[in-house]
Structure 1
Amino acid sequence: MDPSSLFGIAQFFIDKLASLAAEELSLALGVKQDLLEIQNKVSFIKAVLLDAEQKQKQNNELGEWLKQIKRILSTAEDVIDDFECEALRKQVVNTSGSVRRKVRHFVSSSNPLIYRVKMAHRIKDIKERLDKVAEIRDKFGLQIIDSDNRVVQRRETHSGVNESDVIGRGKDKQKIVKLLLEDSYSEKLSIVTIVGIGGLGKTTLAKAVFNDKSVVEFFPLKMWICVSNDFDFENLVVKIINSVPSQNHHENVRNLGLEQLLKKVRNALAGQKFLLVLDDVWNEDRVKWEELKDLIQIGGQGCKVIVTTRSLKVAEMMGTHSSSLDLQGLSREDSLSVFYKWAFKEGEEKRHPELMEIGKCIVDKCGGVPLALRTLGSSLFLKVDVREWMFVRDNEIWNLPQKEDDILHAIKLSYDQLPSYLKRCFACFSLFEKDFQFNSFHTIVLWEALGFLQSPHKGETLKDIGNQYLHELQSRSFLQDFIDYGSAYKFKLHDLVHDLALYVSRDEFQLLSSSSENISENALHLSYTKSHLLGKTDFPLGLRTILFPVGVNNEAFLNTLVSRCKYLRVLQINNSGYESLPHSIGKLKHLRYLNLEDNEELKSLPDSVCKLQNLINLNLSGCIELQELPNGIGNLISLQQLHITTRQSKFPDKEIAKLTSLEILTLVSCDKLKSLFEGIELPSLKYLDIGSCRSLRYVPLHVIPNLESLSIDGCNKLKLSMGHDDNQIAKLRLKLLYLESLPQLATFPQWLRGCAETLQSLVIVDCDNLDELPMWLSTLFCLKTLSIENCPGLLSLPDDVHHLANLEYLKMKGCPGLCRRYQPKVGQDWPKISHIKQVIIESLELEN
């Protein structure tokens, strides 16, 4: 893995040492002084890590030093986690019932004397190893850098452009030119932003616009500024002065004071109608932007600024949504044109039909990104050997030789700019294949299980931190098809971003898809794509993550894994043929994430699973043959997510009530359950998903006062009144309500009105008997998403639907009468919804 995340790892470890559990157990074990010395040594090393990470390419010995540090910190983290496991074990022992049971549980788990000696020995060993690496810190001549605010070097750009290089951007260019030429009497200065991932052609498009004839004629003054490395006010002022043709460039403006520089800018721009391009902006500090904006607003009416950036946050800060272009990849036809342009001499491609066919596959790898098309096309220029073309086709882009300004370097700039705490989180995406549909619940719990989330501040949760990380990655264009459902998100990675994840995470994270791949001795996280690859049992003992392939049924491998990899944090076994799990799984005390989804042969779980007090996620969804939940599930005191499919008829309400950290509960195909949550309260529960529980008649929502997301699907007997009068149900805080295949639903219950201040997403699917939406729907003023599919009885929306000012997404599908009435531009009620940013109307009747 790219060592540039080591700074964040060191900081995380220091924070972990300061935790309450470590403090208490260090006193109990008599190793407090040793832990304090370890903390000081790690702080001493951390001070130079940022400088070391930047210089390691020029010094192999320095690179090895960083690898040693990483291995030591990994081992040390296991020890501290062991302390936390011991604290949780004692907590369960103290609350698990009779004295006899407490003693039996304690003795069976560990001998305190042996444990004390063993852990003290391990701590001293870590201290000695750290002493050795710390001793040689100063020999490398490294500088002390305390904060991770590095500046990544990027190339300077210019305004010159070859029109033949601008392929497939005609419509985008027209849109930008139109925005530039229209009069803006409301604002003296208008901002147009172009946003997209590295290599997508933002700068090339800006150049094409900058040199367009109509733009040249419209703006007497045009300036091109490459911002890149630093949004420093004084440097930008100097660049503006140097880009104004009327200025005396014989004078060295660098020698002028700030006041003299500002005077020159004012003299140059005052009253002028100008176009200013700020290319490659990364600054997210609004104060810096407002300072520059205040200066250049001295121009005349109709001045425009074009901003190119990879960051949605930058675009939102500097411009407006209506004047922002979210640049997409080229069409396949245009992609082929770009690729052939760089791979062949003009007109030569038709002489090589076999290469053209291979080229189509290569083009698909590039995801419409012009720089990737140019990079791979150029690498094949004048090469007619089919084998060379097939090599490019069959290899990941990051495995191919590239130059300094090629695609991998371009997109890696975005990664290099990430703060250290995000780099390991981003690396996790490499464990999944291309086109994988991620959801925020799965992603955040994976990060949490691996200890990649920073400690939350007061009033925050780890989920809040995880959501913040996702928004940061999305704002930097790492995530695409990002859909906000109010309480959850779904997204994908662009193929090239996936390639980047594979590249920066190699060695530590491995996605195994071929028997020819060797498992790295430094691997901590493994993901298998095929069952036959499990024969490679030479996995490292320090594994933290293992994701099994679909269809696995290798009992020997599972037994070996459980017995040898005692530091596992994440174990995923989906769609397997296992009928049971080994009893020894209860010894994986570090395990935090156990995903057994869709194991249709699984009939039972050993009760030893309930010894996994560190477990934060247990997924049994889709285990249709599972007879019952293991005894003692209430002992999983760290559990935050529980996903269940079971054949038992009575829900273990009292055991579930002990799970005071439980936030997410999913019940799928629990066909024998008739009721839930009898005589208990679940104040921590925020997300409840009930699917295909065909005997379920009611759910007492009033016992879940903090519920944020409610999803109900295929529950034929369930009534939304939940067996209570609406007035008995307390005011809810729902953000998302998803209803599907509910034949009992004819009208909405009144209690939904209590969500007016919180509800953001309402999705209704396959509710055949729903014939009207309530008039009070328009009081849900926070609603952002409304989706109605296959509800043929619905003929209209409430008359005052236009009062939903925050509604951004409206979808209607399979509702002929409804779709006809609100058909864009021609439907009789289209004006009532025309203000909504994204409207999707689909009806089979309309299509025919």
Structure 2
Amino acid sequence: MALVGQALLSGSIQVLCEKIASREFVDFFRARRLNHSLMDKLKVTLNTLHAVLNDAEEKQIVNLAVGVWLNDLKDAVFYAEDLVDEIDSEALRHEVKDQTKQTQVCNFLSTSRNPFNYKGMNGRIKELFERLERLAEQRNRLGLSEGIGRNVSQRTPTTSVVEEGFCPYGRDKDKENIKKLLLVSDNGSSSNFSVVPIVGMGGVGKTTLAQLLYNDEQVKEHFDIHAWTKGTSKEGTSEGRLRYDSLEIRLREQVRGKPFLFVLDDLWNESYDDWDRLRTLFTYGAKGSKVIVTTRSRRVASTVRNTIPIHDLEKLSDDDCWLLLAKHAFRNENSSAHPDLEEVGKKIARKCNGLPLASKTLGGLLGCNLDYKEWNYILDSNLWDLRHPNSVLPSLRLSYHYLPSYLKRCFAYCSIFPKGYELEKETVILLWVAEGLIPQSDSGNTMEEVGEGYFDELLSRSLFQRPRLDQPRFTMHDLINDLAKFVSGEFCFRLDLELSHEARKRVRHFSYVRGKFDTSSKFQPLDGVKYLHTFFPLSLTPYDTREGEVYVSNKVQDDFLPTQKYLRVISLSRYGNITHLPDSIGNHIHLRYIDLSYTTIKRLPDSVCTLYNLQTLLLLGCYSLVKLPADMRKLIHLRHLDIDRTGIKKMPVHMGRLKSLRTLTAFVLGKSTGSSIAELRELSHLRGKISILNLENVVRAIDALLKDKNDLNEVELQWGYKVLHDSVKERQVLEGLQPSVNLVKLTIRFYGGTSFPNWVGDSSFPNLQVMRLSGCSNCSSLPPVGRLPALKELYVEGMEFVTSVGVEFYGGNQPFQSLEKLQFWNMPKWEEWLPSPSGAERKLAHSSSFPGDN
């Protein structure tokens, strides 16, 4: 049970009190003669304030002074978090020092560039206590009471109905009418294509209707080319021009002479000149091509339409709103099983004002408590009577208001993502963890697993949505994005495209959309901001790293970022001019997350190894980076290290000491120095994928114990391309590198043995779906991959001496039941048993039969 409407900072206060009361914290304070009695008083004051949070969040709706008080309290709690984290970091520094016995390391730590000011810390604690005491006194004048509020069950939804949310309640007629237009080859247009404009207010279901049409089987079969893009935003015309450029290239390459269906979702650009340029591109397609445009603006619809009338998407009826709400509330159960809730539920549905988005989000809320009193309480909430601040609907305010506090914090943080941004689930979770929004779990689950549960719960409540079921990314509806921005208030600042406004001094989380050249003037709105926790650039369009680079002013990393001492998250990814980090990075003791992916960075300063709180270090695609700092073993809290596609030649010594590592995308073996493969034995929590490179330098592969790493589902094993092979030794090495039976994808490159060990292709790998064998030119036969029950894709390259493809390869009487793709390259002798390689590849693209069966 949790209090209704617990404020955003409830979780923060609870975590602070737990830290202050912990034995480790108390022992550290007493040993360093810090004022622990003052910390005890601070904890009492925090608990006093926590007790009135529920009443404060209720009363701020009608009393603006309470809202101001809450913001002051949030700012003070943020400051308290920074203070406690600073003390924690100093304790952690001593822990690392105690674990490291070498004299030179002790000397290095004792001369840290960021010495802890114990005397000044007592003064800062006293200042914070007095600040919170003033806020506690003000609560009485504001009439805030303890324990006011209602208890509601926070039952986590057992199943997600998001993917079934495409059920077209009230949209059958709309769908059929537009579908007929799409399937007609000639709509009377003199052009090769026709435009179908769909107009409606935000949240009415334009995108959902377009998705229904886009995924319809008849529609799919009617067109050769299908493409979907988010339209240009009214807030970002320059980004729109970039999208047009990308679209132009894609169209010229792919649609010439073919019938296509193209969806421009959420179009805002009213410029006829821009549309005329785009319209010219559509003429490359064949006669009968169609373009669906969804927009809130009739002016946009009038600009783009040619022969087909504008389709106005009306609101849903109250009955259809109820059907949609009930679907989400009862998780696909029949609502008749809850007759006491139907009457009040239908009244709530009428308040949804015909908007499917409101029905879905309220359904997600109501489904967490199937209790008549609570449903009636929501029906009578005074939030329905509020005006719509920043276009935030009352129904959406309610959906947020009744979230448990742990979800409120995570949801509000997502206001850093702009409208139309495609969320990567794993990235969002890592950011939540870095910002301290995910607590340590008592259930034994990792923070990432807890975060995944939070993400799925927000998804099930329709606060996140999946724009395309065949894609792993997620979005927030524009109105949900407005809600996140509204509830995050002045503490999250998103620098929207071509908008110049100053950030509030209290801002903690900052994001912006990258431009081609991000000059120092772009960051002027941050002048005076001193307490940033997040610095996060992002893009509204997927990046192709082969396309042009983007650049950021050197003043950002050399002048601005060094002044932000409280940063938890720094990203400079994809900036082509980032070649180094300043040594001062070691002063950022609060850092948990650094992303330098796809930069040209050449080295990391040694001071990175003093960032003892660091959890995530992303170096993906840093091709110029050839080595990691020598003292990486000190990063005892490091959980995710991505060094895939870098130039790193070997791992630093003692990598096995990083017991917290869960992600290690590559492990590079040096000839005689650096970490040996035995270090992998100690990394028992590895998951996801790993590439083990330069295996010619291995002595005993069994030391890695890959077989015991059940969460590693993707393994690449690679020897050097131009090395002197020892076939006997390499077979022994590969034998010892047998992965877990949970393996999903296996890649073996440049293996020099004459045959594969028995485990390669063995039926004991029931989950193996993808196998790649590349450059294994000494092997005389392929492994018996036909025995793999789940194999879907097989790629073989450079095996010049294949002589046996009989029962060993097929693996039994009914091999390759799941095979969908088979590709061979550079195999001169394969014609002996596959006389038509190109024909076989075409055959396999449409059939599960195996080439050579005939």
Shorter-chain TM range is 0.5 to 0.7
Query: Kindly tell me: are residues 647 and 240 of structure 1, through their superposed partners in 2, closer, same or farther at Cα, counting changes over 3 Å?
Result: closer
Query: Kindly tell me: are residues 67 and 536 of structure 1, through their superposed partners in 2, closer, same or farther at Cα, counting changes over 3 Å?
Result: closer
CA distance in 2, matches of 1:799, 1:451: 55
What SS class does the counterpart of residue 506 from structure 2 fall into?
coil
1:132 to 131, 134, 153: 134
Query: Kindly tell me: are residues 659 and 235 of structure 1, through their superposed partners in 2, closer, same or farther at Cα, counting changes over 3 Å?
Result: closer
Partner of 1:569: 568
Partner of 2:705: 703
Q: CA deviation at 1:454?
A: 1.8
1:189-268 aligned at under 5 Å gives the runs 199-200=204-205, 204=316, 207=319, 237-238=339-340
Deviations 1:463-485 (A, max 9, x none): 22112112212222333349999
Q: CA deviation at 1:416?
A: 3.2
For normalisation by structure 1, the TM-score amounts to: 0.61
Partner of 2:27: 24
Partner of 1:469: 454
What SS class does the counterpart of residue 557 from structure 1 fall into?
helix
Amino acid in structure 2 at the alignment position of 1:131: E
Query: Greater CA deviation, 795-804 or 506-515?
Result: 795-804
CA RMSD of aligned residues (A): 5.3
Is 2:728 aligned against 1:724? no
Query: Kindly tell me: are residues 138 and 679 of structure 1, through their superposed partners in 2, closer, same or farther at Cα, counting changes over 3 Å?
Result: same
Deviations 1:540-562 (A, max 9, x none): 11111112467334233322234
Q: CA deviation at 1:748?
A: 8.4
Report if the CA contact (8 A) 2:787-2:816 is conserved. no
Report if the CA contact (8 A) 1:511-1:526 is conserved. yes
Partner of 2:62: 58
Partner of 1:168: 174
Query: Kindly tell me: are residues 283 and 32 of structure 1, through their superposed partners in 2, closer, same or farther at Cα, counting changes over 3 Å?
Result: same
Deviations 1:52-83 (A, max 9, x none): 11220211110111011101101111111011
Report if the CA contact (8 A) 2:761-2:785 is conserved. no
Query: Greater CA deviation, 563-572 or 234-243?
Result: 234-243
Query: Kindly tell me: are residues 143 and 694 of structure 1, through their superposed partners in 2, closer, same or farther at Cα, counting changes over 3 Å?
Result: same
Report if the CA contact (8 A) 1:509-1:526 is conserved. yes
1:623-642 aligned at under 5 Å gives the runs 623-642=622-641
What SS class does the counterpart of residue 466 from structure 1 fall into?
helix
Amino acid in structure 1 at the alignment position of 2:636: I
1:356-435 aligned at under 5 Å gives the runs 408-435=393-420
Q: CA deviation at 1:6?
A: 2.4
Amino acid in structure 2 at the alignment position of 1:788: E
Partner of 1:480: 465
Report if the CA contact (8 A) 1:637-1:658 is conserved. yes
CA distance in 2, matches of 1:147, 1:746: 73
Amino acid in structure 1 at the alignment position of 2:44: N
Q: Tell me, which stretches of 5 or more residues in structure 1 are unaligned?
A: 153-162, 174-196, 212-223, 245-276, 290-400, 781-785, 805-809, 831-842, 844-848
Q: CA deviation at 1:714?
A: 10
Deviations 1:211-248 (A, max 9, x none): 9xxxxxxxxxxxx99989xx9x999555669999xxxx
Query: Kindly tell me: are residues 557 and 132 of structure 1, through their superposed partners in 2, closer, same or farther at Cα, counting changes over 3 Å?
Result: same
Q: CA deviation at 1:662?
A: 1.4
Query: Kindly tell me: are residues 728 and 500 of structure 1, through their superposed partners in 2, closer, same or farther at Cα, counting changes over 3 Å?
Result: same
Partner of 1:391: none
Amino acid in structure 1 at the alignment position of 2:769: L
CA distance in 2, matches of 1:98, 1:278: 57
Deviations 1:737-766 (A, max 9, x none): 364988999998654789969x76734579
Q: CA deviation at 1:87?
A: 1.1
2:485 to 502, 510, 514: 502
Report if the CA contact (8 A) 1:572-1:595 is conserved. yes
CA distance in 1, matches of 2:16, 2:449: 21
Partner of 1:788: 793
CA distance in 1, matches of 2:486, 2:345: 39
CA distance in 2, matches of 1:139, 1:688: 54
Amino acid in structure 2 at the alignment position of 1:546: F
Query: Greater CA deviation, 504-513 or 67-76?
Result: 504-513
Report if the CA contact (8 A) 1:166-1:204 is conserved. no
CA distance in 1, matches of 2:603, 2:65: 52
CA distance in 1, matches of 2:457, 2:473: 15
Q: CA deviation at 1:589?
A: 0.9
1:451 to 392, 414, 436: 436
Is 2:590 aligned against 1:582? no
Deviations 1:98-132 (A, max 9, x none): 446424522435656xx221111111111111111
Amino acid in structure 2 at the alignment position of 1:9: S
Partner of 1:38: 42
Amino acid in structure 1 at the alignment position of 2:553: N
Aligned residue pairs: how many? 622
Partner of 1:651: 651
Report if the CA contact (8 A) 1:594-1:619 is conserved. yes
1:545 to 520, 530, 534: 534
Report if the CA contact (8 A) 2:153-2:368 is conserved. no
Partner of 1:777: 788
Is 2:662 aligned against 1:663? yes
2:523 to 534, 559, 564: 534
Q: CA deviation at 1:574?
A: 1.2
Q: CA deviation at 1:448?
A: 1.2
Deviations 1:539-595 (A, max 9, x none): 511111112467334233322234321111111111221322211111111111111
Query: Kindly tell me: are residues 120 and 647 of structure 1, through their superposed partners in 2, closer, same or farther at Cα, counting changes over 3 Å?
Result: same
Query: Kindly tell me: are residues 92 and 548 of structure 1, through their superposed partners in 2, closer, same or farther at Cα, counting changes over 3 Å?
Result: same
Amino acid in structure 2 at the alignment position of 1:585: I
Query: Kindly tell me: are residues 534 and 684 of structure 1, through their superposed partners in 2, closer, same or farther at Cα, counting changes over 3 Å?
Result: farther
Q: CA deviation at 1:414?
A: 3.4
Is 2:85 aligned against 1:81? yes
Amino acid in structure 1 at the alignment position of 2:73: I
Deviations 1:428-483 (A, max 9, x none): 33333455444343222211111010221142221221121122122223333499
Deviations 1:650-698 (A, max 9, x none): 332x331221211211239999999974343233341364569688787
CA distance in 1, matches of 2:102, 2:762: 45
For normalisation by structure 2, the TM-score amounts to: 0.61
The share of aligned pairs that are identical, in percent, is: 24
Amino acid in structure 1 at the alignment position of 2:597: E
Partner of 2:769: 762
Is 2:85 aligned against 1:96? no
Report if the CA contact (8 A) 1:431-1:511 is conserved. yes
What SS class does the counterpart of residue 441 from structure 1 fall into?
helix
Query: Kindly tell me: are residues 139 and 151 of structure 1, through their superposed partners in 2, closer, same or farther at Cα, counting changes over 3 Å?
Result: farther
Partner of 1:592: 592
Partner of 1:6: 9
Query: Kindly tell me: are residues 520 and 404 of structure 1, through their superposed partners in 2, closer, same or farther at Cα, counting changes over 3 Å?
Result: closer
Q: Tell me, which stretches of 5 or more residues in structure 2 are unaligned?
A: 155-168, 180-201, 210-314, 347-359, 373-385, 539-548, 800-804, 824-837
Amino acid in structure 1 at the alignment position of 2:661: L
Partner of 1:523: 507
Query: Kindly tell me: are residues 406 and 552 of structure 1, through their superposed partners in 2, closer, same or farther at Cα, counting changes over 3 Å?
Result: closer
Query: Kindly tell me: are residues 278 and 482 of structure 1, through their superposed partners in 2, closer, same or farther at Cα, counting changes over 3 Å?
Result: closer
Partner of 1:683: 683
Query: Kindly tell me: are residues 226 and 468 of structure 1, through their superposed partners in 2, closer, same or farther at Cα, counting changes over 3 Å?
Result: closer
Report if the CA contact (8 A) 2:329-2:364 is conserved. yes
Query: Kindly tell me: are residues 714 and 39 of structure 1, through their superposed partners in 2, closer, same or farther at Cα, counting changes over 3 Å?
Result: same
Query: Kindly tell me: are residues 199 and 658 of structure 1, through their superposed partners in 2, closer, same or farther at Cα, counting changes over 3 Å?
Result: same
Partner of 2:604: 605
